[in-house]
Structure 1
Amino acid sequence: MQKRILNLDEFITKALVQTPFKPETVTLKNHTFPFMRLEIPIPGIDPLAWLERQTLYPKIYFETPKTGFRVAGVGAAYTIDEIPSFHRLSASPRFFGGMDFYERKFETWKTFPHCRYVLPLVEIEVRHEMTYLCVNRTSEALDLSEIHFNPAPISTLSQKATSRFDSPSFPVWDRNIRESLKQIQENSLDKIVLARASLFEFEKPLSPLAFCKALQGKSPTATVFSYQFSADQAFVGATPESLYTRTGSKVETAAIAGTRQRGKTDAEDKALQADLLGNAKEMHEFNVVKEEIEKRLSPLCKALTKQNEDKIIQTSTVQHIYNLFEGELSEGIDDTSLIQALHPTPAVGGRPKEAALKEIRKWETFDRGWYAAPVGWISPEQAHILVAIRSALIHANELRLFAGTGIVPGSIPEKEWDELGHKISQFILWE
């Protein structure tokens, strides 16, 4: 049981004053800086509620229900516009960030750089049922005057959308799917993943963290995340899919593809699972993903294994076919190497990769930005990089929901369109 501290602000200030700045040196591929991390056990406050109180940016949230790990970060002790590649492992900074799916054409994601990773100035972290306040210092000077150490209530989602605009519309979607199927039939593509952006407008500005709070309940097995580099925009999501996790030189990733709704009863759930696993079109789509991940990851590993049987992974609204890969990385393979090799997987891009990306650029009339791209955190010892699906871009009173679906032989435009609706339903909290 953690000891209750009555005046948290005073306690933290005193702890910082009593801790001299004795940094280690962190060496990245293109950066070197002094670093010292101070961790203070504190009463069990909600990181999300603490983040709601903050007015300093960036504001970052990351929650993995499987491990019980939750962290909220605010401010920037150090910022880089590339994937962190550590050369010296004596210190343990943890950078949070992400990157674009591919290059952009529009200004939709104006506050999100092509690639950015941030070492937060202050974090509230929950791990192993203990709560810690963490301060990342990169200089002797330390200004925490803009940090508030007590939480605030998270606002509720009480508004209803006043309008909706889908890009593409269904007639355009229907045409795109049929054209893609022709290319698959002509053997120029095995699979392509096409996405839709659904723009909802509301009367008043939206709270990104209110969506995070709601997603905790709607998607209890998904990793919930939020990135805000300024007050103008936020990227939030609850994804069931990791690009990979790494502990030391051990790496895990999974093939995920094929979709069915969740059943209303256990019996209906099991029937839908059996239908999914027995469907030739869905299994072909899944096997394309599984084969491609194995092909890309094998050259980076001394050893690589996968499960003998394909399984089912579930969210609150849909379920997918799943197979886990575990590997031992070869010497010299870092997180940059992993991200460059694995992104985008055929589950969000297609196969062959470059041919599919060329067609996606042609057919999609919006920027994916950080949607379906690698986002997460990286430290010398560990990394957790997500595939940022089941996600949304929030800008003032606008909510832009993204969803994609894999197109393979047997795909039917109407069914794929309906699948997009199922995938964004966890965000439709006003109906």
Structure 2
Amino acid sequence: MRWVWIGLVLSVAACTATPPPPPLPTVSTTVNAVLPPVPSGDWQTFNRTNQREGVQPDLVSTGPLSSAWHTKLDGAVYGQPLIVGDRVLAATQGDTIYSLDAATGKIQWQTRLGTPMPRKGLPCGDIDPVGITGAMAYDRFTGRVYAVAETAGGSHTLVGLDLDTGTVEVRASVDPPRGDTTAYLQAGALTVTDGRVFIPYGGLTGDCGNYVGTVMAIRTDGTDAHSYTVPTRRKGGFDGPAGGVMDNSRLLYATGGGSSTGGQYDDSDAVVALAVDKLNRIDIFTPPAWADDNANNLDLGATNPVMLGSHVAVTGNRGITYVLDQSDLSHVTSQLNTCPSQGSAVALDNMLVIPCATPRAFLCDNAGQLTPLWTAPVAAAGSPTAGGDAVWVVDPAGGILYALAMATGAVRGQVQIGPTPRYASASLSKDHAYVGTMDGVAAVASA
């Protein structure tokens, strides 16, 4: 499907209580095989694909919005719900994973992975308790859904559950190798590719304690774990909700501010490209004002890069959007003062929508130059997604889901869904949107 927008010329190229013991793996892992496209209506990982496009091409044209169902679960749902066939998969801060009927919200199965970490046992933070925070990922090779659960004591465990039954088939420790495990928060989305699960780690709200930004890689059978750690003394976390952005045989991540505020650069406040096979850094973009970014919390770490054709765009707390050359991240094609941004942007064709206090859209030409298109008339700081000729965005404070006209940003529809986590965003399928809330999952009918 191609988007058709009246009045716009878009010919420009886009820039249960006790966890079971870990059994032996029951499904083989296939590496380097080519998968067919994501099935129609599915949303199998954060923003639908490993490229984090955030676009559902099969969503019907947006009509009046109405609440379809709201299923209360045992805790807040911070990660985007997944959609696989007729299932909506959600993970909670209660350390429970649920499979819900997409049409009715009825619970099909639920698996509790342990006791979540209470806030009083952490050095800082604003989530209580901490269970599963980062978005899960479904792997079509193994038929498993993968998640990372934090449990009492601060340990982090990768689990792989059978899609049909919720049975735990894989369980492996994935604590970062440096620092204090209780100072880490696994908030970024998981990526499953090439027979491995990639797990980004950052810090708690408040940036306290001894942690260093880390990406773990582990086989889908729970073996052969290794990691990449930002070469800074402290901080430099991978906190963006989208996690890694797949770009051929590498993953792009944004890092947060590190301990250096001048002198020797420490690879913090950056966009880094990590090779999928060895997890080594092979390319990097560093904002010119990195030292001031680090000193004043103006870094890139709470956002994610996004692919814009042959370009990569990234925006952070400083409020500058950098457009980078995909083949050489150090080459800045253009930059524009846009808005302070946290969360994940969405790109489709040559249009970029940035999460801001009020969402903003820009056009990108084939030279990588940005032109403002619209600013939404409503406050909605959640991460946007797109489909059905609309941009979908959540106002977490007001508990409202908006559908904005793609060409103008005008409000086409809105519906109350209840309070949501800060970076909440809608997963889209057929004629519904699904959003994680502070007490479960809300489904909205769009036609």
- TM-score tier, shorter chain, comes to under 0.3
Name the larger-Rg structure.
Answer: 1
Q: TM-score, normalised by structure 2?
A: 0.25
| Higher strand proportion (structure 1 or 2) | 2
Q: TM-score, normalised by structure 1?
A: 0.26
